[in-house]
Structure 1
Amino acid sequence: MTSATARVGDTVIATTDDPVIVEGNVYFPESDIAEGVLVANKAKSLCFWKGIASYYDVATDGATLRSAAFTYRRPSPLARRIKGRVAFWNGVEVSTDRTAH
């Protein structure tokens, strides 16, 4: 079993026992992210196989990390495992821990 945690400094902003890892990015279920941390912005990008990514600013402890989280709201069929999930980068530290089950 794998668990994952996302932090900004010492503040935990997400933790899950149900991560999905795609291309080195850890995708957290939206329900496992702290409330009020994600602030939608207008940034978008296109991945040729996952689809269109939408971005969030990550706000915590009075600081805002621009476009530090992303999601694929309507992923392609090949990437359906990441629907309803958010990944972090750009200043958010993500760690995984594999435990015996």
Structure 2
Amino acid sequence: MKYRASWNGEILAESSEIKEIEGNKYFPQNSLNKQFFKETETHTTCSWKGKASYFNIDVAGKTNKMAAWYYPNPTPLAKEIKDYVAFWKGVEITEEG
């Protein structure tokens, strides 16, 4: 099964190697179309996954603020999502095959 993340008419990421936690599909960072992603200074903390960092997504002159997040140094309980990115705020996740 292959998954695709898209927003504003562009494919943000594609992979068959996603991880799913708490209903969120995490894509490997190497599957991202990096030209659409901009680091932010925003961080939040999850009690069991650790400190999250966020990307803004810029496509065709529109910005979806903090629409992607990842855990650069997850806790041991969440180590499987290190170097993986999840989406929200209108980013569509679809399945193929």
Q: Smaller-chain TM-score range?
A: over 0.9
Alpha-carbon displacement from aligned partner over 1:25-44 (angstroms, at most 9, x marks no partner): 11111110002111001111
Moved runs in structure 1, 4+ residues, more than 6 A? none
Provide the rounded CA distance (Å) in 2 between the counterparts of 1:71 and 1:29: 10
Equivalent residues, number: 97
Q: What is the aligned-residue identity percentage?
A: 34
The TM-score normalised by the length of structure 1 is 0.90
**Displacement of 1:91 after TM fit?**
1.9
Q: Would the aligned equivalents of 2:26 and 2:86 in 1 still touch at CA under 8 Å?
A: yes
Code of the residue aligned with 2:6 in structure 1: it is R
The TM-score normalised by the length of structure 2 is 0.93
Code of the residue aligned with 2:76 in structure 1: it is P
Partner of 1:47: 46
Alpha-carbon displacement from aligned partner over 1:35-88 (angstroms, at most 9, x marks no partner): 211100111111000000001101111111000000000000010110001111
Provide the rounded CA distance (Å) in 2 between the counterparts of 1:47 and 1:93: 23
Partner of 2:75: 76
Provide the rounded CA distance (Å) in 2 between the counterparts of 1:22 and 1:96: 17
Partner of 1:30: 29
Q: Would the aligned equivalents of 2:49 and 2:75 in 1 still touch at CA under 8 Å?
A: yes
Q: CA RMSD in A?
A: 1.1
Code of the residue aligned with 1:17 in structure 2: it is S
**Displacement of 1:92 after TM fit?**
0.9
Provide the rounded CA distance (Å) in 2 between the counterparts of 1:55 and 1:74: 13
